Amino acid sequence: MFELLIKSIQEKVPSTEEELHLCKTYFTPKRLRRKQFLLQEGDVCNRMAFVEKGALYSYTTDAKGGQRVMQFAFEGFWISDLYSFFTREESKLNIEALEDCELLLLDHEQHDYLLKNVRQYETYIRILYQNAYVALQQRLEVTIGLTAEEKYSHLVDQYSTIVNRVPQHLIASYLGITPETLSRIRKQIASR
Amino acid sequence: MFELLIKSIQEKVPSTEEELHLCKTYFTPKRLRRKQFLLQEGDVCNRMAFVEKGALYSYTTDAKGGQRVMQFAFEGFWISDLYSFFTREESKLNIEALEDCELLLLDHEQHDYLLKNVRQYETYIRILYQNAYVALQQRLEVTIGLTAEEKYSHLVDQYSTIVNRVPQHLIASYLGITPETLSRIRKQIASR
DNA sequence: GATGAATCTTGACATATATCAAGAAAAAAT
DNA sequence: ATTTTTTCTTGATATATGTCAAGATTCATC
């Protein structure tokens, strides 16, 4: 149950077996069925989730009731609404399971405790943010700079997991285009 | 020269006068004239810059030679190409002074040293990333989710500093629209 | 394996935004 | 102050992408 988390920590902050073993005590395992929610808009996000198995995605709902996909998370990734998690304000995000999931949850209190008392945890989190920030910056570049087709090609090249495991209309939303446009782009690419 | 930096640290990580005073020894002050570069694409980004005075912006250059503005930085902000800074790969970003600047530079070695040896510095950086990540996520929401006019209005509401101190064509690029479109939007807003 | 739900495709048409071009206005440099 | 450079505006036109609607597939569940 903790294999991937331990691997993720080990990669970033070399630690002893004991230390790694200890960290287990702070996390709560949780199973989630496809279509179940980890977070619903209006609630305060009180935890971060590490994905041991399965897939989830987060999205906002716009004025006309449409989804705007913000993030996908697969095995080995974290997902949460960090804005709500830190500010303690109501979240505007929904986090929903795309597939049946096995998660490890860390709640706000435990996160704070670990930050204060376990130096390695703070280092781990710092590196996590560092990577997340850089990845988000690249996504922004792609989103602003490329045409719909280029965005999709980039996704296929760089994040084939997403393309393989996620329904097309959610990919379209993630790229900021309509499902119809994505369908046409795929047709065009296929015909070459 | 160090007022804003010390304020920024103090806000996030309460420290004694001595500790704060000590941190000065790691930074190198640098002046930059309007239009001068802090970083040019092709170089490896070897430092992070804290802005004590003035304004800078970072941008990429696309295939047709057009600028794509990624970030603006004013007094109290940090600017760098974190991707290049961490990976030690060549940067695709340019960082240019919009106004004459007074900067405090921290190079890669010193950053590493401080992370390892000064717990408070790691905490400061962690909080910095945390905030930067959340801000970037919000920018992405705005960029994907809103029309050109809504994006501009949001900028006027939330980041009036940018609107006041930055030429319009750079704002357009930052929003991912053309200068012509921005000009028309402003005209329309003004006529109401 | 049948039934209903979710997802994807395709066409016709609408629209927001881009592009190109040229002149006006403002700002910087001499 | 004058000149040069940069920035902003406006019009005409082009284009990528969105919207609406309907049928075709595919997938999930009993």
pLDDT category of residue A180 using cuts at 50, 70 and 90: very high
B128, B192: one domain = no
Contact between residue B119 and residue B152 where contact means Cβ atoms under 8 Å apart? no
Residue A64 has pLDDT above 80, yes or no: no
B175, B128: one domain = no
Domain final residue, candidates A83, A98, A132: A132
Task: Give the CA distances from residue B134 to residues A32, A136, B68, B138, in Å, rounded to whole numbers and listed in that order.
Answer: 26, 10, 21, 6
B129, B106: one domain = yes
B185, B108: one domain = no
- Quote the pLDDT of residue A66: 85
A128, A150: one domain = no
CB contacts, 8 Å: A132 with chain B = 133
How do residues B61-120 score in pLDDT, each as one tens digit? 987 778 999 999 999 999 999 999 999 999 999 999 999 999 999 999 999 999 999 999
A122, A164: one domain = no
A81, A14: one domain = yes
Contact criterion met (CB < 8 Å) for B133 and A137:
no
d(C-alpha B8, C-alpha A179), whole Å:
44
A116 touches chain B (CB under 8 A): no
pLDDT category of residue B157 using cuts at 50, 70 and 90: very high
- Quote the pLDDT of residue B68: 93
B135, B53: one domain = yes
A143 touches chain B (CB under 8 A): yes
* Residue B186, CB, strand D, below 7 Å: yes
pLDDT category of residue A104 using cuts at 50, 70 and 90: very high
- Quote the pLDDT of residue B9: 94
- Quote the pLDDT of residue A34: 92
Contact between residue B50 and residue B19 where contact means Cβ atoms under 8 Å apart? no
Q: What number of other Cβ atoms are within 10 A of residue B151's Cβ?
A: 21
Residue A137 lies in a domain: no
Give the B window 83-102 contacts with A, CB below 8 Å.
83, 86
B143 touches chain A (CB under 8 A): yes
Give the B window 23-62 contacts with A, CB below 8 Å.
60, 62
Residue A188 has pLDDT above 90, yes or no: yes
pLDDT category of residue B192 using cuts at 50, 70 and 90: confident
Mean pLDDT of B161-166: 93
A151, A105: one domain = no
- Quote the pLDDT of residue B63: 77
Residue A142 has pLDDT above 80, yes or no: yes
For A3, the 3-state DSSP assignment is helix
- Quote the pLDDT of residue B87: 93
Q: What number of other Cβ atoms are within 10 A of residue B74's Cβ?
A: 20
* Residue A169, CB, strand C, below 7 Å: yes
**Number of structural domains in chain A:** 2
* Residue A143, CB, strand C, below 7 Å: no
Q: What is the rounded average pLDDT for all residues in chain A?
A: 93
Residue A22 or residue B26, greater confidence: B26
pLDDT category of residue B21 using cuts at 50, 70 and 90: confident
What lies within 8 Å, CB to CB, of A170 at 6+ separation is A57, A67, A69, A72, A98
Query: Measured CA to C1', what is the nucleotide nearest B180?
Result: D9
Contact criterion met (CB < 8 Å) for B143 and A138:
no
A45, A128: one domain = yes
Residue A153 lies in a domain: yes
What CATH number corresponds to the domain at position B57?
A: 2.60.120.10
Domain that holds residue B192: 146-192
Strand C bases, protein C-beta under 7 A: 6-12, 16-21, 29
In angstroms, the first-to-last Cα distance of chain B is 44
